[in-house]
Structure 1
């Protein structure tokens, strides 16, 4: 049983902590106005990458969806045709969705991707006021077209077959000159 002296002293000691911290300089985060850079290997928003000619790297294999422990990824593959080619292989991801309401940003989908089509960026601001806007579609996830890239569908421009793409031994094909240029 505490003594009378301890019963009197305990509340004063507790207030001592309050008084000591009351006059210290306040340390606050200025987050929305001053954003600090993330670590280089930070797992943020996903990105579907492209080959240098603009074709998509995703082959619609659905391995990322199978590897996802939160069941946040939905992929529907389709076959490429000679008239409409979206990736160098025989298949491409026709539908690709990531539900960021479920995603735990673990990166297991990145490890499962055989073509390195899926990577993670450093973008971490994924909040929204509407649940439907947190389901990212393929158009939201695709990397932007860089100079020299062409919007798919188009024929393979960096080699004779998909093996050239996957091995990285591609060289740009020279296009035949039009008769009007000669």
Structure 2
């Protein structure tokens, strides 16, 4: 004669057979992600196109998995990539090591590094999971100019958010860029 415990176990199985399934039809139907989901990283830009990364390497030091490599370089007047003294010349994130904790984002003093909602980064080649600066940089939107170019204000203007998009038809901007 079966025991009470085994009958109770079968009851759980039998009840589960008739419940409604909660299957999502991924990839046809994208899942709803929480607002603070940690997906792929993004290196942000200012509204005029200069990069926010100043090459300080704080994100690499904060990473517990040692998944980030940053090599900073000095900006010059001829080649300016960010408003600060330095910029991230070489930036890599190894997604084979990244644990998605977000400590790198918290360590960034200029909010250059953020995490997007993009989560589909699987590859069949290990080398393709090491994202470089070109893979991580935010795209250039309308009114942005690809670096290197001259600053459109002071360093304080950039850090206080007073920089707007560049008007490509503006002669004043063309004269500033030429000098």
Interval containing the TM-score (normalised by the shorter chain): 0.7 to 0.9
Cα distance change of structure 1 residues 21 and 93 upon mapping to structure 2, 3 Å threshold: same
2:59 aligns with 64
Deviation at residue 36 of structure 1 after TM alignment: 1.9
User: What is the CA deviation profile of residues 87-143 of structure 1, one whole-angstrom value per residue up to 9, with x for unaligned ones?
Assistant: 111110000001111111111111111111111111111211111111110011000
Contact 2:24 2:31 in 1 (8 A): no
2:145 aligns with 150
Cα distance change of structure 1 residues 82 and 90 upon mapping to structure 2, 3 Å threshold: same
2:160 aligns with 167
1:130 aligns with 125
Instruction: Identify unmatched segments of 5+ residues in structure 2.
Output: none
1:114 aligns with 109
2:81 aligns with 86
What's the TM-score once normalised by structure 2's chain length?
Answer: 0.85
Distance in 2, matches of 1:11 and 1:114, equals: 59
When structure 1 is superposed on structure 2, of 61-70 and 32-41 the one drifting more is: 32-41
Contact 2:40 2:115 in 1 (8 A): yes
1:101 aligns with 96
Alignment of 1:38-57 (within 5 A): 38-57=33-52
RMSD, matched Cα: 2.3
Q: 2:21 aligns with which of 18, 23, 26?
A: 26
Contact 2:48 2:163 in 1 (8 A): no
Contact 2:55 2:71 in 1 (8 A): yes
What's the TM-score once normalised by structure 1's chain length?
Answer: 0.84
